[in-house]
Amino acid sequence: MTPKLITSLSRLLQRISESNDLRPEIKSQKIISAFHGLARPNISIHSYLQRIFKYANCSPSCYVVAYIYLDRFTHRYPELQINSYSVHRLLITSVMVSAKFLDDRYYNNAYYAKVGGISTTEMNFLEVMILHVPKLQFPQDQQISENNHLCFSTADHQDESPHQKQHQLAV
């Protein structure tokens, strides 16, 4: 049985992919990235996601974060649109990266490559491409870190007298 998340995500990516396939500026585009296949894969997006779900053992949140990665990646590089030539490689790479980021247990790149039907060398290269995109990080992570620092530093100084606090500020 396929979870609703996988079905919903595959439908969304199918619509995006089909829509982008029809755009004239993308059809005539000569820019081909490492994520673009030479031909459209024979496996549907839904079947591909089911395969990833079955073998990758990722938490459901990985698929949500993978989509966020895809969205941010394509916004950062508008010339690289999700279409029927790129969606599969973008998917396996973003799921793998999100699993490494979120899950305590994950497989090595060779395993994800086998699940995704690509070589380990290609999987390694695609991972590097996604990881080196500036501003792909989650801004809220930095904000959470700053808030934690502020909370802990406030808690550390809670028991001090106003005189001690003033002395620390002057130093």
Question: Which residue range(s) make up the domain with 111?
Answer: 4-137
* 164 shares a domain with 96: no
* 132 shares a domain with 145: no
State mean pLDDT over 140-164: 45
- The DSSP letter of residue 77 is -
* 144 shares a domain with 129: no
Measured distance CA(10)–CA(82) in Å, rounded: 12
* 100 shares a domain with 169: no
Which of 75, 92, 89 is CA-nearest to residue 36?
89
Measured distance CA(150)–CA(140) in Å, rounded: 15
Report the 10 Å Cβ neighbour count for 13. 21
Convert the pLDDT of each residue in 109-140 to its tens digit: 999 999 999 999 999 999 998 888 665 554 44
Which of 126, 42, 53 is CA-nearest to residue 85?
42
Residue 99 clears pLDDT 70, i.e. is over it: yes
* 131 shares a domain with 150: no
Q: For the domain that residue 39 is a member of, what is the CATH number?
A: 1.10.472.10
Q: pTM (2 decimals)?
A: 0.74
* 60 shares a domain with 133: yes
Least confident piece of the model among 68-77, 92-101, 115-124: 68-77
